[in-house]
Amino acid sequence: MTATRIDDLPLRDELRGKFPYGAPQLDVPVRLNTNENPYPLPDALVARIAERVTEAARHLNRYPDRDAVELREKLAGYLTRTTGHPVGRAQVWAANGSNEILQQLLQAFGGPGRQAIGFEPSYSMHALIARGTGTGWLSGPRGEDFTIDAPAARQAIAAHRPHVVFVCSPNNPTGTAVDAATVLALYDAAQAARPEGGGALVVVDEAYTEFSHHPSLLPLLAGRPNLVISRTMSKAFGAAGLRLGYLAADPAVVDAVQLVRLPYHLSAVTQATALAALEHTDTLLGYVAQLKAERDRLVTELRALGCRVTDSDANFVQFGRFEEADGGARGAWRALLDRGVLVRDNGVPGWLRVTAGTPEENDAFLDAVRELMKAINERRNA
Ligand SMILES: *Cc1c(COP(=O)(O)O)cnc(C)c1O
């Protein structure tokens, strides 16, 4: 009997020949490829999680709070405190990572016969979740410097009339932030392009906003029912393993995603753990200040080594350019891996992305780049 292949199955046509999301999880000394926080959770928080999870465990015979009321209340408090913009529980929704938030949004506002647009290069999951939900995908333009060119973006929206617009700020993998004026221009263009049927949903993915030089775009929610701010505890909170993402939007958007969410999607253990982490917000955000300083140091030192570096508002840095004659981004990625440092090749020609790690990890990375640049220069001069 021969093994069954995926293509032998009655799979949806648009999934045939495709590959799953897969950042390599390689066992190397310095792993700076998935924008995780390098610091383990502090002991006091680990103990608090144990306490809250123990309490939750006593009730695991019951389904969890389907509406995650306490958690949403605490997330709303966090947003209010950190942005100065009042946010209430009814404006917040939580799910298993912001990827699930984005999936629920596309299930409710995208789907067959509808289209979403993103400005690429950007977060690859936006396109993948579109595909998974049967939503058409449109690749919008970015400028040479990787910022969103507002007039070009507005033109793309007017031409294609998408139902959902993704704006990633700060953008992954480039690190660039989007200013409020650009988001407003895109929002207005998206509504103008779809004058009937309630307009178009604009999703601002703020996974990295805590690392930004710029304030959150959350205050733009006022008076804009089709705007959604998506957030996560995977990056600034250093809790990628927790799987907790959330959104802030008009309460009507929260009502809409409840039409598609699975019942009891957020386990009692997840809710308890997230609540414990939110009690330690100040400690966790202390690491953010450290990581921002390390991010800025990476930018400065990479430039001193002769690399081009895109200005970064995130906990990672895009650097290059590795010309094809020098082995391209793939060759540079391999050379760094050979020196024990794993970075990310996002498929942007000539560019790689490195996550800000601990000072020691960053030193190891910079040493590896120094050797790589030396080797490239020697080869060029040979
Ligand atoms: C890492 C990342 C996320 C986070 O996804 P989670 O599912 O919350 O871990 C979301 N958006 C972008 C742009 C990211 O880079």
Ligand 1 centroid distance, CA of 4 (Å): 33
Residue 71 lies in a domain: yes
Alpha-carbon gap, residue 153 to 181, rounded angstroms? 13
Which CATH number characterizes residue 304's domain? Answer: 3.90.1150.10
CA-closest candidate to residue 276, choices 52, 108, 26, 25: 52
CA 233 to chain centre: 10
pLDDT of residue 188: 98
Verify that 270 and 140 share a domain, yes or no: yes
- pLDDT tens sequence across 250-265: 999 999 999 999 999 9
Which among 186, 205, 181, 3 has a CA at the least distance from the CA of 122? 205
pLDDT of residue 19: 84
Q: Say if residue 233 is in the same domain as residue 168.
A: yes
Q: In the predicted model, is pLDDT for residue 22 greater than 80?
A: no
Residue 334, in any domain of the structure:
yes
Q: Stretch 303-327: mean pLDDT, rounded?
A: 96
Asked, for residue 166, whether it belongs to a domain, the answer is yes
pLDDT at 23 over 80: no
Report if residue 228 sits inside a domain.
Answer: yes
Q: How far is CA 107 from CA 92, 111, 129, 164, 354, in A?
A: 18, 6, 9, 11, 32
Is there a single domain that holds both residue 85 and residue 98?
yes
Please report the atom of ligand 1 found closest to the CA of residue 171.
13
Domain count, the chain: 2
Q: Is the pLDDT of residue 296 over 90?
A: yes
Residues 132 and 38 in one domain: no
Q: How confident is the model at residue 367 (pLDDT cuts 50, 70, 90)?
A: very high
Q: Cβ(207) to ligand 1 under 6 A?
A: yes
SS3 234: coil
Q: How far is the CA of 207 from the centre of ligand 1 (A)?
A: 6
State in Å: Cα 240 to ligand 1 middle: 9
Nearest CA to ligand 1 atom 15: 172
Does 220 fall in a domain? yes
Residue 141 has pLDDT above 80, yes or no: yes
Same-domain pairing of 347 and 215: no
Burial of 37 (0-12, 13-18, 19+ CB in 10 A): buried
Mean per-residue pLDDT of the chain: 96
- 371 is a domain residue: yes
Q: Please answer whether residues 282 and 288 qualify as being in contact, where contact means their C-beta atoms are separated by less than 8 angstroms.
A: no
- Is the pLDDT reported for residue 24 higher than 90? no
Residues 176 and 288 in one domain: no
Q: Whose CA is nearest to atom 12 of ligand 1?
A: 207
User: Do 312 and 369 belong to one domain?
Assistant: yes
Q: What is the distance in A from the centroid of ligand 1 to the CA of 102? A: 10
Ligand 1: centre distance to CA 130 (Å) = 15
Residue 234 alpha carbon to ligand 1 centre in Å:
7
Quick one: pLDDT at residue 26? 83
Domain co-membership, 158 together with 261: yes
Largest Cα separation within the chain, whole Å, is 70
Residue where a domain terminates, one of 279, 305, 331: 279
> Which of 35, 125, 266 maximizes ligand 1 atoms within 8 Å of its Cβ, making it the mutation to test the pocket?
125
- Write the CB contacts of 247 (distance below 8 Å, at least 6 apart in sequence): 92, 93, 98, 101, 105, 228, 229, 230, 231, 253, 254, 257
Last residue of a domain, one of 239, 263, 279: 279
pLDDT in tens, 158-207: 999 999 999 999 999 999 999 999 999 999 999 999 999 999 999 999 99
Global pTM value: 0.96
The gap between the terminal CA atoms of the chain, to the nearest Å, is 56
Residue 140 placed within a domain: yes
User: Which amino acid, residue 366?
Assistant: L
d(CA 188, CA 190): 5
29 and 136 share one domain: no
CATH of the domain at 123: 3.40.640.10
List phi, psi (to 5°) of 91.
Answer: -95, 0
Domain that holds residue 309: 24-42+283-381
Q: Are residues 370 and 257 in the same domain?
A: no
Q: What is the pLDDT of residues 53-93, one digit of tens each?
A: 999 999 999 999 999 999 999 999 999 999 999 999 999 99
Is the shortest distance between the CB of 232 and ligand 1 below 6 Å? yes
Q: Indicate if 89 and 232 belong to the same structural domain.
A: yes
38 preceded by cis ω (within 30°)? no
Which has the closest alpha carbon to 171: 205, 220, 128? 205
**Would 11 be classed as within a structural domain?**
no
Same domain, 318 and 376: yes
Last residue of a domain, one of 220, 245, 279: 279
Q: Ligand 1, residue 98: give the atom nearest the CA.
A: 8
